[in-house]
Amino acid sequence: MSELLFEIGTEEIPAGYIQSALDFLQAEAEKKLKELGLNSSGFKTFATPRRLTLSVDFIEERQPDRTLEHIGPSTVAGYDGDGNPTKAAIGFARSKGMDPSDLQVIKTAKGEYLMAVEDVQGKDTLSLLPDVLESLIRELVFPKSMRWADTATAFVRPIQWLVALYGGQKVDLVFEGIVAGTTTRGHRFMSPDTFDVTGTEQYLSTLAEKYVVADNKIRRELVISEVKRAVQEHSGIADAQPVLHEGLIDTVTNLVEKPYGVCGSFDEKFLTLPDEALITSMREHQKYFPVADKDGTLLPRFVAVNNTDIKDIDLAASGHERVLRARLEDGLFFFNEDKKRKLSDRLDQLDGIIFQHQLGTMLAKSRRMEKIAAMLADKIQPALKDATMRAARLAKADLLTEMVGEFPSLQGIIGSEYALHDGEDQTVAQAIHEHYMPVRAGGQLPASLPGAFVGLADRLDTLAGCFAIGERPTGNKDAFGLRRQAIGLLNILKGLNINLSLSAVIEAALAAYGDQIKVQEHTADEILDFIRLRFENEQVASGVLQEVVDAATATGFDNPLDCLGRIQALDAIQNQQDFAVLAGAFKRIRNIIKDNTETQVEPNLLSDAAEKDLYATLETVRSKALPLLDEKQYDKALLEMLAMKSPVDRFFDDVMVMAEDARIRQNRLNLLTALGELVLQVGDISKMHVE
C-alpha cells in the first residue's frame, strides 16, 4: 500500500479561497514528487470549510538510485602548468565530497571541463514526505493570510490539526507545534468527536457518517438537490422552482459541511423592487436562492442552506426571514428614496466623485464619454446619435444613488430602472444598463448599438487617460483593469460586427481630454499596440496558430473586425500545398525587394517569357482579387492568388532579378513589389512559411 492522505484541519476558511487552495495543493504536490524522482498517480483533493485534503493513490515507496553529473571549472582553471589541481579544482571536489583525483574530464562545446560524478542513493518516501508536506503548507497562498497567536507562518485561518498517512503509517510531520496524527474530526456541531483514519476510502466514508461530505463535487450536487427539495416541499406554490446561480452554488458548497435546505417567504411588497435588486440582496448579502414560477417571474419565496440538520423547519425559516426582511426593507427604502430625484438632476453631483486625481471627476468623464459616443454613432449609425448621447450623459448618474451605494454590482442595472421611471426613452435606458457589458471575459454583450457605443466610449476614455498619464499595466499591477477594458472593447466590436478604425477613435479619446493632460507623441500607438496584443492572445487562445495571427496583424490591425476576417481566411487556406509554396516564394520576394515601394511595371521592358507570364498572371489575378478584397471576401481573394504560385516559381527559376541593366532590374523589382502589395492586403504570408 503506497497511498498518501494529507489533511489540514482549520477554523472556517472563506468560501472563495478554497478552490484555488485545492488547485495549488494538487499542482505543487505533483511537481514536488516529480522533482524528487518519485513516480506517483491518482491525485485527488477534497475540502470543507474546516479542512483542505490531498489524496494520492500511488507514490513510489523509494527514490531510485541516481547518478548525478556536476560540471565544474575548465581544465585550464582546474590544473596548473604541471598538471596539479588548483584551488578551483580542489574546492570543487571538496564541495562534492570527493578527492581531486576522482574528478573526470569532459569535452563540451566550450572546451574541456572537470566533472564530478556522484552516485546518490535513493531515500525512502516516508522519510521525504515530512519536508514535502511542510512546504505545501508554508507555500499555500491565499488572498488574505494572517499570523495566529505565536505562529511564524501566515495562514488563512488557525490550523487546528493535521493528518498525514502514507502507506497506512503516520508521517513524522510537525508544523508550528502541531504534530500530525491519524485522527480527524467530524461535523463541528453534529459530530464533533475525533476518529481514527486508516486511508482515503475509510476517511471519506466515516466523515459521511459524521455528517461531513468531504467530496466537493458530491456536496455541490447535494446543495442543488436540497434547494430543489426545499422549494418542492415547503414553498406552497405549484410550479415554483429555485433560481440556481452557478456562482452561488459554488459559494454555498464551500460554506457548509453538509447542506440542509430551508424554504422561507417574504412580504409581496418587496416584489416592487427591480428583480436584479431583489436577487442581489438575497444572493450577495445572505447567500439565499431566489424562487420563481415556471415563466421566470420571481415569487415571494427564497431558499437558505443551513450547515446543520433542521428539527423545526418553521423556526429555522422564520430566523432567515427576519434577517432577509431587514435587508429588503433597506433596499425598498433606498429604492423609493432614489426615485424622488431624476437621474438628470444628479449629474452635477458627479463632480464630487473622483475618477482619477489627474484625470478629473466622473462628471468630466461623462462629458468625454458623450463626445466619444456621439462620434461613434456618427460613424456607424447616425440615426442613434441623440439616444446614444443621452445615455452617455446619464450612464454614471446612478453612482450617486442609495441603491448602488448599498449594492455596487447594480451599477447600470438600477440606472436603467430609474431612467425608465423618469420617462427616458427605452433605448436610452437599455444603453445605460448595457454600457458595462461585458462585465467579464465571455460575459453577455450589449444587445443594442447605443449600449455598445457608450460602452466603447467608457473603455476608450479610460484607456486613453491612463496611458496618457503613464498609469499602464505592469506585471500583476493593473489598477484600472486596462487589460479587461481592452478585451471588453474587442468583444463588443466582434460580437456586434462593428467595423471601426481604432486609430481614429483613440485619437478622439485623447483629444477629448483637451488641455487637462499632456499627451506624449507615441501614446496613441502604444494604446493600439496594447489592444492588439490582447487581440492576438485571444486568437491564439482560441486555437489559431501564432504564425497565422502574426501574418494578419503584421499588415494592419486598425480595424479588429477586418483583421479577424483576414485571420479566418489565412487559417482556412494554410494547409493547401500551393499556399505553402506561395508563402515560401513570398518570403523570398520580401527579402529581394527590401525597401522598394515602386509598383509601376513597364511591359515593354519585360523580355523573358517567365516574367511576361508572371506579369500577365498578376494582372489577371488583380482584376479578380481586388473586387473581392474591397468586399472583404478574403478567403475567395486568397484562392485567386494561388494562381500566381507556378508563374512565381518559373520566374525565380528563369529570371535574374538583379540584372545589370538598372531599368530592367528596377522593373523586375517593381513587378515583385506589386505582387507583394496585392498579397499584403490579406497578410504577410511569409510569416507562415515553415523552413
Across the chain, which has 691 residues, the per-10-residue mean pLDDT values are: 91 95 95 92 96 96 83 85 85 86 84 84 90 95 86 90 94 93 95 94 96 96 97 93 94 96 96 92 92 94 95 93 94 94 94 93 96 96 96 96 92 95 96 93 91 97 94 83 94 94 95 90 94 94 92 92 94 86 84 85 88 91 93 92 89 86 90 90 84 58
- Give dist(CA 544, CA 444) in Å, integer: 23
pLDDT of amino acid 1:
58
Q: Residues 373, 376, 381, 382: is their CA dihedral positive or negative?
A: positive
> What is the residue type of 559?
N
Cis bond leading into 438, ω under 30°?
Answer: yes
Cell 494572517, located at residue: 146
- The beta strand positions in 147-259, using DSSP E, are 159-166, 169-170, 174-175, 178-179, 183-185, 194-196, 241-242
What's the confidence (pLDDT) of residue 691? 58
Neighbours of 262 (CB within 10 A): 24
CA–CA gap between residue 263 and residue 240 (Å, rounded):
11
What is the pLDDT at residue 396? Answer: 96
pLDDT computed for residue 355 by the predictor: 93
Provide the sign of the torsion angle of the four alpha carbons 277, 282, 287, 291, taken in this order: negative
- Extract long-range pairs of 569-572: CB within 8 Å, 24+ residues apart: 569/634, 569/635, 569/637, 569/638, 569/682, 570/634, 570/638, 570/682, 570/683, 570/685, 570/688, 571/544, 571/545, 572/635
The radius of gyration of the chain's CA atoms, rounded to the nearest angstrom, is 34
Question: Model pTM?
Answer: 0.80
Residue-level pLDDT at 607: 87
